[in-house]
Structure 1
């Protein structure tokens, strides 16, 4: 409670906002609210890694490597090592991107070869 007996949410503001000149002997009460944002938890890309593992693993082993790094990222997140989880998650994302690109190029080449013959 403040000195006037009001709860902090309903403190009446004295003075005017349009004018910065306050009345003599009257103070303006301003309440500040701070909001702390919690950092976003790191992503482990486990679903994308599973898709890369099952669908693009015959092309190369990038899907398996991405799945391993995704599992490591999830384990690090569970034990509370957020920096390690970010590192492993970033590596898993890069491997997933490469696995997706390589698999897409292989499918495109197969369609082009099948269309030509």
Structure 2
């Protein structure tokens, strides 16, 4: 660089020092030696397969030039029939929620579990949850069966609960009439 054109030290007033703002190109970068990728000879030298990789990509030129062997190097296929590769398509199975889901009777199950008959209400609650899961997975038959079972267990629990309440009322009435 020419010492006469070197920028002066910046002054306190940045707006007035024009020599510090002169645009000069940066010094050219030092050229670094280009090392080939591991396992490859330098560009332009032949490999075991008969060609050198393309310098810009590090791979084989495509299509192969006449007289070149393809694929190169160890593991070459013998001249003759090539092994056939069959590629199967990927199949994704996604089940969508039902358009017309079956009722799950969840509220009914909670009511019968807490107010009528705990064991049957608990069983009905389990089937209600199974119905909801089957509806979300799109399983029509499983949702239908679980819904029907939850409804029947809820009806049975409600019947037993009502019967227990009626028997309790009758029992207390009979006891009260004896005194």
Q: Matched residues in 2 for 1:47 and 1:41: separation?
A: 16
Q: In terms of Rg, which structure is larger?
A: 2
Q: Which has the higher contact order (CA 8 A, sep 6+)?
A: 1
Q: Secondary structure at the residue paired with 2:104?
A: coil
The residue aligned with 1:93 is 151
Task: Extract unaligned runs of 5+ from structure 1.
Answer: 1-37
Q: Secondary structure at the residue paired with 2:150?
A: helix
CA RMSD between the two structures: 1.6
Q: Matched residues in 2 for 1:76 and 1:105: separation?
A: 33
Q: Secondary structure at the residue paired with 2:101?
A: coil
Q: Secondary structure at the residue paired with 1:41?
A: coil
Q: Matched residues in 2 for 1:105 and 1:66: separation?
A: 18
Could you tell me the TM-score, scaled by structure 1's length? 0.62
> Larger helix proportion, structure 1 or 2?
1
Could you tell me the TM-score, scaled by structure 2's length? 0.41
Write out the 4+ residue segments of structure 1 that deviate beyond 6 Å after TM superposition. none
Determine whether 1:73 maps to 2:128.
Answer: no
Q: Matched residues in 2 for 1:73 and 1:111: separation?
A: 36
Task: Extract unaligned runs of 5+ from structure 2.
Answer: 1-97
